[in-house]
Structure formats: structure tokens, C-alpha cells
Amino acid sequence: MSKDLPAANKSRRRSDQITLSQVAQAAGVSPITASRALNHPDKVSNSTRQSVLESVERLGYVPNLIAGSLASSRSRLIAVIVPSLINSVFVEVIKGLQETLEAQGYQILLGNTDYDLDREYQLVRTFLGWSCSALVTAGLRHNDACHTLLANWGHPIMEVMELGNGIDLNVGLDHVAAGRCMASHLVDRGYQRIVYVGARLSHDYRAGMRYEGHKAVLKAKGLEAPLLEMDTLGTLQAGAESLAQVLQHYPATQAIHFANDDLAAGALLAAQRQGLQVPGDIAIAGFNGLPLGQHITPKLTTILSPREDMGRLAAQELIRRLSGKSVYRRQHDVNFTLQVGEST
Amino acid sequence: MSKDLPAANKSRRRSDQITLSQVAQAAGVSPITASRALNHPDKVSNSTRQSVLESVERLGYVPNLIAGSLASSRSRLIAVIVPSLINSVFVEVIKGLQETLEAQGYQILLGNTDYDLDREYQLVRTFLGWSCSALVTAGLRHNDACHTLLANWGHPIMEVMELGNGIDLNVGLDHVAAGRCMASHLVDRGYQRIVYVGARLSHDYRAGMRYEGHKAVLKAKGLEAPLLEMDTLGTLQAGAESLAQVLQHYPATQAIHFANDDLAAGALLAAQRQGLQVPGDIAIAGFNGLPLGQHITPKLTTILSPREDMGRLAAQELIRRLSGKSVYRRQHDVNFTLQVGEST
DNA sequence: AAGGAAAATGGTAGCGCTGTCATGATAGCG
DNA sequence: CGCTATCATGACAGCGCTACCATTTTCCTT
């Protein structure tokens, strides 16, 4: 009978991936030197770096980032948590973040809360488990557990979209001011009976903040500030439906201030189809400055929010912070711009 | 002088995060039992599970997923690589993926290639380093290195968007057929001088495939199939501009078949502004079935592509595969639907 | 009550990499 | 020419967790 092979293979390796040690061996250096050749190229001699890189190429080595992250407790992952992917606003922020972060070798871990703060908390917990280098989240509102967790985390946290007292870094705009800005524009234009239309303001609470600004301006002028809140997402469809509801509930309405451009454009297109003149019969204003608004006739009056810039700026500040630079600002106001179109 | 403390602290721990061992100690069990209580709850008794969970809660333990992944060489990360985030089509696929995968406890690692296959290769390399459970990428075209890498990877790979012979799994639709479908519709409507308008077809090669289908139909009818290719992204703006170019270069054009709804809607809105009748003066067709098309007047004739479904289905197939079920199909055709509007 | 299967728990040894410190090689200086 | 400062490299151990196997406990069965 044949002797069994000694139980030499205690290894638990389940994949036959090339490891750094093999690369090192091929290059005739120690593993740690190979590691340095890849991660701190300035700390090894030119010749070793060359031969390590050559071995990497030849063997098709793909670094195991998980092992590296565990050993160094740094991961070059950045968690990005948004409340929705349907709303293109968040996607544009992600895009701005992405292009800046990827260029610096960071990867984005994407999470979607669907406007649920408990879900956000769960996602944050999970992401912390990934030892993310930083975390970006949309908005300043979190549930208590989440807030505590983040506040004690010890890595950079970037809260985007709105401006205010955040946990750490903050890039956003002043939504109350934006609401005031548009309301003032409408009042200046001579409209008096103005309805604000939003969708699920408990979710899209930034739209609620804009309403607060709107209301403050109207009250100051002694005007009513009726609110119509749709219980749907803020889509073209909802905008179209809201128009009918406004006309029914507030027949004398002269202008509608919509919480976003989708709603506004939906209403505008619906008005057109119904033969209503905009702004003759009814004026319409939106928020965001989506391209669509500039292509419909009449062009939509709206407030331009620099969404990609917001993402880019947030990413830049994070990178600055992560690279240890002390020169960064905790808060950035990305300003909005009133874009007067033909619809008011 | 006082004796130095023995060099007890050889620990490299840089964070003071609670570890599983501490949880185990608090619960009076061994670390491995605590691990099981969290990851294989059915393999421990009710009482131990309870006390472990209680300790987790009390200590605020957040599992270190990196360590867990290294030990188990499984990561519950799924890489998703798309060519663009500007194009809402990909975002909707991501959304479908996201909602299904997150519900199963997977996280999405998002990558954006900007239509650059070399960039895709780089992203794939990085993502493989994260020991992703699976990888989703948009499209069947990759550079050679990328293709080789993926083909040898050994984990599920899902190629979405278009239908064809993929590396592994594939969920998509037949773009050539979609092009034929719309072309046939236009021809059936009696249009003969039809221009196809696309944007950067080398990037958006699926639009190129639709053009191939389009051309085949027209040629079969003995008609010319002129192509106007814009060197911009396929946006509303580009659509508006392309209209002028079509009218200039092909003044007798009766219908325009646009590569997507954004272009088509841009052209339609521009036509409107210029007082052109659609479809009286010129017919317009798009592709995708974006909501916008159904809100403009005339409603846009388009082809509905089930984008979120595509993402959801892709995610479901992946999950099925990942959970070891052998009952899955390598290829899924998510069918498109011709949506006849008022613009043709 | 004895025997055996199944369930519950624990010990050990890594997963692949990098931080830390130690060592050897090279250069710089008066 | 000796002595220190710098650079290049390596040995070792450990990041926090889980696979694997061994052991103990529990629960049936006849």
C-alpha cells in the first residue's frame, strides 16, 4: 500500500490567484519589498521596482485589496449614500463625486436609502464594516443611532445637498434661501395667488425647506401661501396631475411654484396640451435647472443648482482631508442661480 | 527609577473598534461561536444566539467585513461597471440591480468607464482585487486583456444591455431587431426619406446596431438610409441641433429615426419652437421609452426598453447563480415594445 | 440503560497583505 | 578615515475573522 502524502496541504487557499509572495519570488525579492514597489514606489530602488513590475505583468498579478485593507486598515473605498436613484439630481452628484474620486484611485460603494432613515442607518453600519476611507451622505438629517455612529466614527464624513451644521464636512446650498428667491421673483412679477406644489415633502424635506422660504416671503407681503402636496414621486406625471388639482382647489391661482423641474415641466406640458397659456393663464416655476426646462416652450423659470459641481467639490474636499492637508473648509456654499425663463 | 511596562502592546490595532472576540467574551462564548451566531444563526442554540446578539447590541459591534471577506474569500460585493452616468438608461439598470441586490445583502461597487474600454479593464482589475462575488458590466464588448481576465475569473459575470454570446450570463435586448422594428414602422407609415440620427456611435455602439437594423429594412425596400452622426452626447441639446443639420443636408427628409429619446425629444421640441408640424412636416421617432416622450405633444413614437427590469432580472439571475442553484438561464431576452405615439 | 446520531461548541491555523522595527549597504562630513 | 545620516531591504508578527476538524453535549432509538 502506498504511503499517504504527508498532510502538507493545510492551506485554506480556495483560489489559485497569484499572490504578492509569488511575484516577489519571481522578482527575487522579499514580499515586503514587492509590496513597497507597488505601493510606495519611491521607497525602493529603480532596478527592484522594474523587476517587480515586470513580474507583476508576467504573472498577471492582481493585488488582493481585501488583504491589503485588513493589514493597513485603509481601504480606498468611499461610501456614498443617496436617498434615490430615480431623482436625477442625486445621480449628478454621484457623477461629480465619481469622476473626481476614481481619478484618485478611490472606489465608490453605493447605497440607496429610498428616503428611509432606518435604512440609512443599516447602510452606514455595513459601510463602516468596510473600513471606508470616508462616507458621503445626502442631507443632514439622520436618525439618532446613525448620528451617534457617524459622529464617533473618526473618518471624514461629507454631508451634501443642503447647507447647515453637519457632523463634519458639508457642501450644499441654502434651500430656504432658494425658496425665498423664487417666491420673491414671482411676487416681483406681480403674481399674488401663488400655490407651492411639492411631492412627499416628508421625504424630500429639502423641498419642504424651500417651501418654508417661499412661505416666509409671501407672508411678509401679506399673501397666502397654500401648499399642495402630492403623495407620489416628483415626476412629470405627478406634475401633470397636480396641475388639475391646483386648478380645482385654487381656481384663481396665477402662478405655481413647483418643488422641482420635473413637476414643473410635467405641469407645463400638460397645460400646453390643454391649451392653457403659460404664463398668460398660469405662470410656472421649478427648481434644479434641468436641461429639459430650457428646451420646452416657454422656457422654464427655475433655480439652477450646481449638482455635479457639488459632487466634485465634495470629492475634492474629501481628498484634501484624506491626504492630511489641513487646508480645507468644513462648509461650502455652492450657490444657486435664479434662471428666469419665459414661463413666469 | 520605575520599571518600564513590559512591551505588552505589540498590537497594531489602530482603531478601537469592538471586535468579535470582545463580543464573544461578553457573551461568554468562544469567538467562533459568536461568528456563527451572526452568520449561521441556525447552527447555534437559541440561548447563545440571544446572548451574542445582546452583546452585539450592547457593545455596538460593527462586523469588520474586510476581515471576514479575507478569511472566507467571499465579499458580498458586486461590481457594476457602466459606461456613463449621464445617460439615464444605465442609471435605471443600476437601480434595478441595486434594489434586488441590496435586499439580499449585497453591496454595489460602482465603476464608470466613460465609454473607454481600457478604463473598463482597469476597473475590472481593481474590482477583482476586492474579491467581488460577481461582476456586472454593460455590453459585450471588451478589450482583449479584459476579456481574458474575465473569462478566467471563475465568478459569475453578467453582461447586460445587449443580447449575444457573452462570457457567462447575459440579459439584454436585440438592438438590431429594435432598429428593424422602428424602421419597419416608419416605412409602413409611408415615409420613404428617413434619416437616422445618432451621437458618437463608436461609443454608443448599441445605437449603431440599431442603425444596422434600420438600414437593413430600408435597403430591402430599395430606400436610402442616410446617417447623421453627431459628435456630442445624445442629449436634448444635440437633438435640437441635429434637426437643423438634417434639414440642411437632407431637406426632403420626411422622418427622422433618432438613436434615443433625448435626441428625439430635443428635436421635437425644437421643431415645435420653429413652427414645424410633427409629424406633418417631419416625423420623429426615438428609442428607450422615457417618460418625457409621453408628456410632450405630440407624444413620441419610440421603443420601450425595460431598463429597470433588465437590472432586476440580471440581479435575480446572479443571485440564483450565487446561491448555487443550477436552474438559471445563461441568456435572457428582455423584449422591447414599439410604442406608437403621435409623432409618426 | 446503552449506543449512536445529531447538535452545539471550541481550538487551531491561517486568509494575503503591510506596520514596525532591525539590519545591511551607501553616502556624507569634518 | 572613522562616525553618523540616509537609503534599501528583510524578518516577524498580526489585522479580525472564518474554515476545518475535534470535542463535548443533547437527544433519540430500541
Query: For the domain that residue B289 is a member of, what is the CATH number?
Result: 3.40.50.2300
Task: Answer whether residue A10 is part of any domain.
Answer: no
Cβ neighbours of B129 in A, within 8 Å: 62-66
pLDDT band, residue A329 (cuts 50/70/90):
confident
pLDDT digits (tens, 9 = 90+) for A238-287: 999 999 999 999 999 999 999 999 999 999 999 999 999 999 999 999 99
A213/A148 same-domain check: no
pLDDT of residue B102: 92
Q: Provide the Cα torsion A62, A64, A68, A73; round to 10°.
A: 130
CB A70 within 7 Å, strand D: yes
CA distances from A127 to A81, A108, A121, B63, B100 (A): 10, 11, 10, 10, 18
CB A133 within 7 Å, strand C: no
Among A5-19, A79-93, A156-170, A308-322, the range scoring the smallest mean pLDDT is A5-19
Its domain, for residue A119, covers: 74-173+308-335
- Is A88 in contact with B85 (Cβ distance < 8 A)? no
pLDDT at A4 over 80: no
| A221 reaches B (C-beta below 8 A) | no
pLDDT at A324 over 60: yes
pLDDT band, residue B14 (cuts 50/70/90):
low
pLDDT band, residue A2 (cuts 50/70/90):
very low
CB B15 within 7 Å, strand D: yes
A189/A269 same-domain check: yes
pLDDT at B71 over 50: yes
CB A29 within 7 Å, strand D: yes
Closest CA to A208 of A115, A106, A323: A115
pLDDT at B252 over 50: yes
CB B76 within 7 Å, strand D: no
Counted domains in chain A? 3
Closest CA to A287 of A215, A239, A232, A224: A239
pLDDT of residue A6: 35
On average, the pLDDT of chain A sits at 93
B242/B192 same-domain check: yes
B25/B43 same-domain check: yes
User: Strand D: which bases are under 7 Å from protein Cβ?
Assistant: 7-20
Query: For the domain that residue A34 is a member of, what is the CATH number?
Result: 1.10.260.40
**A99: distance to nearest CA of chain B, Å?**
8
Least CB–CB distance from A62: residue in B91, B107, B125: B125
| A112 reaches B (C-beta below 8 A) | yes
Task: Answer whether residue A213 is part of any domain.
Answer: yes
Q: Which residue on chain B is closest to A235 by alpha carbon?
A: B291
pLDDT band, residue A7 (cuts 50/70/90):
very low
B56/B204 same-domain check: no
CB A52 within 7 Å, strand D: no
A189/A296 same-domain check: yes
**What's the CA A30/C1' D8 distance, rounded, in angstroms?**
12
Contact B120, B145 (CB under 8 A): no
pLDDT digits (tens, 9 = 90+) for B90-134: 999 999 999 999 999 999 999 999 999 999 999 999 999 999 999
Cβ neighbours of A272 in B, within 8 Å: 297
pLDDT of residue A10: 61
pLDDT of residue B1: 35
Task: Answer whether residue B15 is part of any domain.
Answer: no
Task: Answer whether residue B8 is part of any domain.
Answer: no
B168/B179 same-domain check: no
pLDDT of residue A63: 95
Cβ neighbours of A265 in B, within 8 Å: 295
A79/A92 same-domain check: yes
Tell me: cis bond preceding B279? Omega within 30 of 0 counts. Answer: yes
Task: Answer whether residue A206 is part of any domain.
Answer: yes
pLDDT of residue B7: 37
B94/B125 same-domain check: yes
DSSP, collapsed to helix, strand or coil, labels residue B30 as: coil
Cβ neighbours of A112 in B, within 8 Å: 95, 98-99, 102
* Single-letter amino acid, residue A270: A
pLDDT at A181 over 90: yes
**What's the CA B77/C1' C17 distance, rounded, in angstroms?**
20
pLDDT of residue B10: 59
> Which residue is nearest nucleotide D6, judged by alpha carbon to C1' distance?
A43
A149/A101 same-domain check: yes
A80/A126 same-domain check: yes
pLDDT band, residue A224 (cuts 50/70/90):
very high
- Is B236 in contact with A292 (Cβ distance < 8 A)? yes
On average, the pLDDT of chain B sits at 93
A127/A87 same-domain check: yes
Could you say which residues 13-42 of protein chain B have a Cβ atom less than 7 A away from any atom in strand C? 29-33, 36, 42
Optimal mutation site among A62, A95, A124, A147, interface B, most CBs of chain B within 10 A: A62
pLDDT of residue B2: 35
pLDDT of residue B81: 97
Long-range contacts of A97-104, Cβ-Cβ distance < 8 Å, separation of 24 or more: A97/A136, A97/A311, A97/A312, A97/A314, A97/A315, A98/A311, A98/B85, A98/B110, A98/B112, A99/A312, A99/A315, A99/B112, A100/A311, A100/A312, A100/A315, A100/A316, A100/A319, A101/A315, A101/A318, A101/A319, A102/B111, A102/B112, A104/A319
